[in-house]
Structure 1
């Protein structure tokens, strides 16, 4: 159960009494034991330890094993969510890189990726502000949806275009009203939600161009269905469920910079901190700022400490900096 912003973790000293994931990560040595956000948020390490020790007494475990158990439960919860958008949709997570964001996300990224069979993690600059920056950098976009219950084999391109026409007119009108008045400042993409007749879950696919668009769409649906659900039924009729039109305003200049880095951050001096890694035990773990990785890759165990996030690099993993100031965490041992 989340402690929310109020009362929050015990360590925040705002009235929380039940240990949270943040308290566990603090006791495990992953987070700065004195303060977060470059010293702006002081932490009550003794309070966090006492709360976890009290929980440990109730479940019959030492305090450090209780803290690691809390951390592992958080990993398991996130792993279920990760599988919900990957393996349960026919995607092998091992074929992808994990994007780790948030203040605590990169603390769990290595153990989560390891459990999912993933070997590459990307931690972007200012990861703790990722969502906020996304709101600032996002392009103008409108998604317009209309129900369209028809069998694909009973639909022709003329009928499909007639159904898309009012969506396109409305979407372009919205873009013009927002300052995207000319065709070179407008981007329009067409999508269709499709399913086999009798199914409940549709798949969304882009609508191809050309005179054979419907034939291409049917073939793409069978392929996608096989990838997501493990089978295809080419002889079953396909049904449209809805049509979607995505209108984007094309900015005159890119809204997102090529690279992001902090210009005036109070950078912690590299030091060593004891951290607990479960069955592998305690390690004297180097703690460094992101900029330290510019000199070359560093092997775990390692903690990269920043104003808005903390990256925990497990033993058997290594971290390096790329040209966009991302931290790339790579599994180097099975």
Structure 2
């Protein structure tokens, strides 16, 4: 590998920092893990670069660097963001406090709306008003604006969010106010305008998203600058790129200005990696389970297409940005056991993280899921994380003892019950997702990845009724690989709010073309070397007149060049029928907004075939394991020695450097030509 060019993808999780290296000349892929340094994530990356050096790869060989991050997400969840002021249209000072006046949990009258990120005392009404059509009702009053700026400066805020009524139609007042803030503060104050971030109707959602963006901005900006400086110090000259929530990429300077787009950065990379593995295995319908150190993330891939949403809920706040649809459960390798007030065993959602970590790491004293896996025999303590992390089983026993005593059982049975509780939590979340999407789990394969996903995937598959489980070749570092598979992506948006049949098709086509130019300009500004072409996609966010929410309808250039709207109308009725089981051809359609998405296609690591087996898979030994209250003698296999055509019978353990795969009794495993391990129920074969 010496002197060859390499592409590096990095994903920082709560417990481990994962690295995937793609060497362009040979096509080889190397995956590595190193413990995350929780108080200094960049140091974890530096430690990973040292691992590369030990394998003969030097930083100056890295010419492409992409990174998935949870810095913004953690800042928001922990509420450790910037002190921020909010400028709103006069009369709307309580916008963040009124929210949507809905109970977070409709059947729980004790549930409460989230505490706003900006208090009322730092919310300043500004005399101005735009009408719904974008015309000026009341001019921007500079006296009230200047007074608000002075008050915000006196309050020692770090930034100002500006969200005026109907700015999605006309952003003039927001832009003038932002310029005034910069002018009066000498450019020292950070400013976010809602219209620039996402020009969309629903002022509360716009205000929240702009607030979240500025709330996490100083922390993210500092992290990105630290990352850039450290990479330069380490000898990496490649420009860093960051994974977005929508599974696309953007450069680090763009991410620093709009960090809200990175909230689901890490998990989104995993979905892109999962899509690649599913395609290689010729399995089109997949339920993904990405279980790391802190949480388990679930998503749906249907017909080799990931699920996207236009709005997510995070800590009770709506985030109205296109993102890969991901559902999280607080169950990871670091999730620890506890007894609730009712005397029930619980697991998570709190995690011990990488520091102090599970008890078996040698520093913590809480029994975490990793301790349970170790005590039940799933993990080989000498091969955990390729032997880079030493595990101490006796410390797991010591930490598990209080739980076992309370449950009046031995530590191994207590560990088994912990795993059962965690699987039940995942099943509860996943069954709701399946029902919500109207899916038949028998038509899907469950894909387990992340450091712990392959250990629980078979359990969950039994619970929900899927007939197969797919484990990709390097499941523990799939998020890092996924970031190397991602394309650059950007959405250009324009609000419309008009009946479809009132918009002439030539005018609609012209507006789409203008948005396409805006998207192309963004792609050019990313300054990417070696793009493999680009794709431009058109969408209408559209609904029946009178509906409260819209659907995303894909539009083609051919539809825009036809004589009338019939093709678009027909496509919407069909989409509504698929989504909700009914449609109404008598009702007019209303266009909410036009959206153009541009994709800049990157160089992708190839999918390598593996050698064919000429003899049965070698059993490396046996180990006693406990599953669902029963003890078994499991055969041990090494993933690195499994070849195309190898068959294994459960109960079995497959050990590899980045994770461990558990095959339950009653299941068989087979290896395909691309190294995927596919588990199937014996009765379904």
The normalised TM-score by structure 1 is: 0.85
Alignment-derived partner of residue 18 in structure 1: 366
Instruction: Pick the aligned partner of 2:572 from 200, 204, 221.
Output: 221
Matched, 1:320 2:320: no
Whole-Å Cα distance in 2 between the matches of residues 60 and 225 of structure 1? 54
Q: CA deviation at 1:162?
A: 3.3
Q: CA deviation at 1:130?
A: 0.8
Residues 655 and 661 in structure 2, CA contact (< 8 A), matched pair in contact too: yes
Q: CA deviation at 1:230?
A: 4.0
> Secondary structure of the residue that 2:451 maps to in structure 1?
coil
Taking a change above 3 Å as real, the CA distance of residues 179 and 114 of structure 1, as seen in their structure-2 partners, is same
Indicate the RMSD between aligned Cα atoms, in angstroms: 2.9
Q: CA deviation at 1:323?
A: 1.2
Which has more radius of gyration? 2
Instruction: Pick the aligned partner of 1:301 from 651, 665, 674.
Output: 651
Residues 91 and 228 in structure 1, CA contact (< 8 A), matched pair in contact too: no
Whole-Å Cα distance in 2 between the matches of residues 8 and 81 of structure 1? 26
Q: CA deviation at 1:213?
A: 8.2
> Secondary structure of the residue that 1:221 maps to in structure 2?
helix
Instruction: Pick the aligned partner of 1:8 from 357, 367, 371.
Output: 357
Q: How does 1:1-334 map to 2 (within 5 A)?
A: 1-14=350-363, 16-83=364-431, 85-178=433-526, 185-208=533-556, 209-210=558-559, 211=562, 214-251=565-602, 254-259=603-608, 270-279=620-629, 281-294=630-643, 296-333=646-683
Whole-Å Cα distance in 1 between the matches of residues 680 and 564 of structure 2? 41
Whole-Å Cα distance in 2 between the matches of residues 73 and 42 of structure 1? 26
> Secondary structure of the residue that 1:41 maps to in structure 2?
coil
Taking a change above 3 Å as real, the CA distance of residues 38 and 188 of structure 1, as seen in their structure-2 partners, is same
Q: Which runs of 5+ in 2 are unaligned?
A: 1-349, 611-617
Taking a change above 3 Å as real, the CA distance of residues 172 and 19 of structure 1, as seen in their structure-2 partners, is same
Taking a change above 3 Å as real, the CA distance of residues 63 and 322 of structure 1, as seen in their structure-2 partners, is same
Name the stretch that deviates more: 215-224 or 108-117: 215-224
| 1:259-302 Cα distance to aligned partner (Å, 9 max, x none) | 288xxxxxx982111111114x1111011112443252111111
Whole-Å Cα distance in 2 between the matches of residues 202 and 149 of structure 1? 11
Matched length: 324
Q: CA deviation at 1:84?
A: 5.1
Whole-Å Cα distance in 2 between the matches of residues 26 and 77 of structure 1? 20
Residues 532 and 600 in structure 2, CA contact (< 8 A), matched pair in contact too: no
> Secondary structure of the residue that 1:121 maps to in structure 2?
strand
Name the stretch that deviates more: 99-108 or 183-192: 183-192
Whole-Å Cα distance in 1 between the matches of residues 354 and 627 of structure 2? 28
Residues 293 and 319 in structure 1, CA contact (< 8 A), matched pair in contact too: no
| 1:121-149 Cα distance to aligned partner (Å, 9 max, x none) | 22112111111111123222223333332
Name the stretch that deviates more: 311-320 or 208-217: 208-217
Taking a change above 3 Å as real, the CA distance of residues 172 and 7 of structure 1, as seen in their structure-2 partners, is same
Residues 648 and 670 in structure 2, CA contact (< 8 A), matched pair in contact too: yes
| 1:217-272 Cα distance to aligned partner (Å, 9 max, x none) | 43343333344334444444443333322211234xx42212288xxxxxx98211
Q: Identify the structure with bigger relative contact order (alpha carbons < 8 Å, sequence gap 6+).
A: 1
> Secondary structure of the residue that 1:239 maps to in structure 2?
strand
Taking a change above 3 Å as real, the CA distance of residues 157 and 93 of structure 1, as seen in their structure-2 partners, is farther
Alignment-derived partner of residue 265 in structure 1: none
Residues 609 and 673 in structure 2, CA contact (< 8 A), matched pair in contact too: no
Name the stretch that deviates more: 223-232 or 114-123: 223-232
Whole-Å Cα distance in 2 between the matches of residues 193 and 255 of structure 1? 31
Whole-Å Cα distance in 1 between the matches of residues 668 and 626 of structure 2? 18
Residues 89 and 229 in structure 1, CA contact (< 8 A), matched pair in contact too: no
> Secondary structure of the residue that 1:6 maps to in structure 2?
coil
Taking a change above 3 Å as real, the CA distance of residues 151 and 274 of structure 1, as seen in their structure-2 partners, is farther
Name the stretch that deviates more: 238-247 or 79-88: 79-88
